[in-house]
């Protein structure tokens, strides 16, 4: 397990090592994989912007609620960025080896965390917990 993780981390920083895996796939698939990676990075950047916006502009919310929502969004952003590169490497390796693409639970975790942050803000607003 530890060797597998360290091998994957090495691929993050030395993607040329992927060429040692299997055969080169059709470039269209590699480029589609890269576009997916970039979409995850855009999602991560949007979550960073959301976390900063909550912290800086929702000053009507109590400090604890505002900080909690901001942290949930920023943690989701960090996880999304790390997951993006990991998923890119795993998919590229699977394509080169002729294997099935890896399944991922991350989209549902990201969606659940983002929904939880939204529900928390709604609850704070509806219950009138905003600080004044």
pLDDT tens column, 33-76: 999 999 999 999 999 999 999 899 888 878 888 898 899 889 98
Cβ contacts of 37-41, under 8 Å, gap ≥ 24:
37/84, 37/85, 37/87, 37/88, 40/80, 40/81, 40/83, 40/84, 40/87, 41/80, 41/81, 41/84
Please state the pTM of the whole predicted model: 0.80
pLDDT score of 48:
96
pLDDT at 132 over 60: no
Tell me the average pLDDT of the chain: 87
Number of H helices, E strands in the chain: 4, 0
Q: What is the DSSP string of 18-65?
A: GGGSS-PPPHHHHHHHHHHHHHHHHHHHHHHHHHHHHHHH-TTB-HHH
Domain ranges of the chain: 26-126
């Amino acid at each position: 397990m530890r060797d597998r993780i360290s091998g994957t981390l090495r691929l993050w920083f030395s993607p040329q090592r992927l060429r040692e895996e299997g055969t080169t796939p059709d470039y269209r698939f590699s480029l589609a994989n890269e576009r997916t990676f970039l979409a995850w990075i855009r999602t991560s950047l949007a979550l960073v912007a959301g976390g900063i916006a909550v912290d800086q502009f929702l000053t009507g919310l109590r400090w604890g609620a505002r900080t909690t929502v901001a942290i949930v969004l920023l943690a989701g952003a960090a996880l999304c960025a790390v997951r993006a590169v990991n998923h890119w490497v795993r998919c590229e390796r699977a394509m080169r080896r002729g294997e099935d693409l890896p399944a991922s639970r991350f989209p549902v975790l990201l969606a659940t965390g983002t929904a939880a942050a939204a529900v928390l803000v709604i609850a704070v607003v509806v219950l009138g917990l905003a600080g004044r």
